[in-house]
């Protein structure tokens, strides 16, 4: 028997012992009474940017005891302070030295969703997880038949829980999709012999549709690893040992998350512009989709340009006082990842667009006074863009800048020469540039590259 076989068999014995004290029907009834609405685990993974599932575990079969003292509540609190999206708790007792009690206590205090990580071989374990406060459970393709997997996913759905369905190869990914998985985790570790192939998840990423959340698991150790996964369109990472062994878990998690600014290169007008923006390392690429402006792009050309934007780079559509119906139509046609509004659109308009499209909305504000900042602060948008003159390249008075308590995109007057200083001084979520990367009115590949490098370098210097 492999280690995985042994773990699965031990899980079955645990279920039989537990059923002597609380029969299956009793557990099902209690879990159904506690059933919730919505799927908070999936909501957490869908938020913009890479999501981090941080693992609380004392030991593993391949590494032995990782934490002798194992202050599990303190570990969970550290993860929340560091910005974890979710917390994974090992409950397998024989090789991982876990306990369902750890899950229950952590879930009782945590403000983020909690995942039960175990070798689930029976619905009973799903009901246990629900009653312990878990928002999700791990289901491993290699120890479950297709009928079992489908049934277990259905049991999770009925309780308002998510299933993180773990696969390791092409056949298991296909199996997960056939069974209706909404969240697929690809494990870089082969659970049969515990060897690790760090690129396994990257090879399998193209098999998973965009509407299914994709989680990379195991062997993720550095910020560079995270950046590689971000570029491949991975939605979340599950990290255990790297964080468990860190002297300062909060700092290590923040290092992995990165304090780097996002860079949006805007005003793309040709397919060449898009290709060069991608090469330059843009996180977001913008096109002006309302007619009548110098950088406006006709819809037909925009469709061709959109095909050049790879997974992991956000395509942003910029609109100025366009009818909401037109914004919705064009956004769906281009499969936009974000909508940016540059006109007089009010909060009702913003809310309609977000609700209709299900993507983040950016609202731009010309900043001339403190009142303008106050309006930006109150906006219903997901992000606010602070500008000096709506595409004029004019910067705003940065002496007005103060923390807004929300994600800010900085624009106006930025160039490769001054963006580093602006990022270091103002710490925006993102920077947005169009005229500052042009020469004689056309996008300049060298300026694009220099702009991205300068913005990212400012964050790197700050971390060091």
Predicted confidence (pLDDT) per residue in 392-417, tens digit: 555 666 677 666 667 889 998 899 99
pLDDT (mean) for 112-124:
97
Q: Are residues 137 and 150 in the same domain?
A: yes
Q: Are residues 220 and 274 in the same domain?
A: no
Q: Are residues 172 and 200 in the same domain?
A: yes
3-state helix, strand, coil in the chain (%, to 5): 45, 20, 35
Beta bridge partners of 409: 385, 430
Separation CA 214–CA 283 (nearest Å): 19
Using one digit for the tens of pLDDT, what is the confidence trace for 184-212?
999 988 776 667 777 889 899 999 998 99
What percent of the chain shows pLDDT beyond 90? 70
* H-helix segments, 83-213: 100-109, 123-131, 146-159, 170-178, 200-204
Q: Are residues 130 and 278 in the same domain?
A: no
* Domain boundary residue, one of 257, 277, 294: 257
pLDDT on residue 394: 58
Using one digit for the tens of pLDDT, what is the confidence trace for 360-383?
899 999 988 888 888 998 999 989
Total number of domains in the chain? 2
CA dihedral angle for residue 249, residue 99, residue 144, residue 216, rounded to 10 degrees: 0
pLDDT on residue 257: 85
Q: Are residues 284 and 408 in the same domain?
A: yes
Q: Are residues 64 and 161 in the same domain?
A: yes
Please check whether residue 329 is in contact with residue 299, taking contact to mean a CB–CB distance below 8 angstroms: no
Residues with a catalytic annotation lie at 55, 57, 117, 166, 187, 217-218
pLDDT (mean) for 138-154:
96
Using one digit for the tens of pLDDT, what is the confidence trace for 305-348?
999 998 778 899 999 999 999 999 999 999 999 999 999 999 99
pLDDT on residue 39: 92
* Domain boundary residue, one of 224, 257, 290: 257
Identify the CATH number of the domain in which residue 59 sits.
3.20.20.70
Q: Are residues 118 and 196 in the same domain?
A: yes
Residue 38 burial (CB count, 10 A) = 10
What percent of the chain shows pLDDT beyond 70? 94
Q: Is residue 464 pLDDT above 50, yes or no?
A: no
pLDDT on residue 108: 96
Q: Are residues 211 and 319 in the same domain?
A: no
**Domain limits for position 300:** 262-463
Q: Is residue 30 pLDDT above 90, yes or no?
A: yes
Q: Is residue 391 pLDDT above 60, yes or no?
A: no
Q: Are residues 337 and 193 in the same domain?
A: no
Using one digit for the tens of pLDDT, what is the confidence trace for 272-301?
999 999 999 898 999 999 999 999 999 999
Quick one: CA dihedral 371, 373, 374, 378, positive or negative? Answer: positive
Please check whether residue 58 is in contact with residue 50, taking contact to mean a CB–CB distance below 8 angstroms: no
* Domain boundary residue, one of 257, 279, 313: 257
Beta-strand relationship, 438-439 and 442-443:
antiparallel
Q: Are residues 202 and 305 in the same domain?
A: no
pLDDT band at 463 (very low <50, low <70, confident <90, very high): very low
Among the ranges given (12-26, 220-234, 262-276), the one the predictor scored with the smallest mean pLDDT: 220-234
Q: Are residues 137 and 16 in the same domain?
A: yes
Q: Are residues 253 and 273 in the same domain?
A: no
């Amino acid at each position: 028997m492999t280690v995985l076989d042994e773990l699965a068999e031990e899980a079955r014995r645990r279920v039989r012992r537990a059923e002597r004290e609380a029969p299956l029907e009793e557990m099902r009834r209690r879990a159904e009474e506690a059933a919730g609405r919505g799927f908070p685990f999936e909501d957490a993974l869908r938020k913009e940017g890479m999501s981090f599932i941080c693992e609380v575990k004392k030991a593993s079969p391949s590494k032995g005891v990782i934490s002798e003292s194992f202050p599990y509540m303190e570990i969970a609190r550290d993860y929340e302070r560091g910005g974890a999206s979710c917390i994974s708790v090992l409950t397998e007792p024989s090789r991982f030295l876990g306990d369902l009690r750890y899950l229950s206590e952590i879930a009782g205090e945590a403000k983020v969703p909690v995942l039960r990580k175990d070798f689930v071989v029976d619905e009973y374990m799903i009901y246990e997880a629900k009653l312990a406060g878990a928002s999700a459970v791990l289901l491993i393709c290699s120890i479950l038949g297709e009928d079992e997997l489908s049934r277990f996913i259905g049991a999770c759905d009925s309780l308002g829980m998510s299933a993180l369905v773990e696969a390791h190869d092409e056949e298991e990914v296909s199996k997960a999709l056939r069974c209706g998985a909404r969240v697929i985790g690809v494990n870089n570790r082969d659970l049969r012999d515990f060897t690790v192939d760090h690129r396994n998840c990257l090879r399998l990423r193209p098999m998973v549709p965009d509407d299914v959340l994709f989680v990379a698991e195991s062997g993720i150790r550095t910020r560079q690893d995270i950046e590689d996964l971000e570029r491949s369109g991975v939605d979340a990472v599950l990290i255990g040992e790297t964080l468990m062994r860190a002297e300062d878990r909060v700092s290590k998690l923040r290092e992995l998350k990165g304090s780097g600014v996002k860079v949006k290169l805007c005003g793309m007008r040709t397919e060449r512009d898009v290709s060069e923006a991608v090469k330059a390392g843009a996180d977001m690429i913008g096109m002006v989709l309302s007619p009548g402006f110098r950088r406006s792009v006709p819809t037909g050309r925009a469709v061709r340009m959109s095909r050049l934007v790879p997974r992991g780079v956000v395509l942003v559509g910029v609109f100025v006082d366009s009818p909401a119906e037109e914004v919705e139509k064009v956004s769906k046609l281009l499969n936009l990842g974000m909508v940016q509004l540059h006109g007089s659109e009010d909060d009702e308009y913003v809310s309609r667009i977000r609700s209709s499209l299900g993507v983040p909305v950016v609202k731009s504000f010309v900043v001339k006074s403190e009142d303008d900042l106050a309006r930006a602060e109150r906006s219903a948008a997901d992000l606010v863009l602070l500008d000096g003159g709506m595409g004029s390249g004019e910067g705003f008075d940065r002496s007005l800048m103060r923390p807004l308590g929300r994600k800010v995109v900085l624009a106006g007057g930025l160039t490769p020469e001054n963006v580093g200083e602006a990022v270091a001084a103002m710490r925006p979520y993102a920077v947005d540039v169009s005229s500052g990367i042009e020469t004689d009115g056309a996008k300049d590949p060298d300026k694009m590259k220099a702009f991205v490098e300068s913005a990212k370098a400012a964050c790197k210097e700050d971390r060091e």
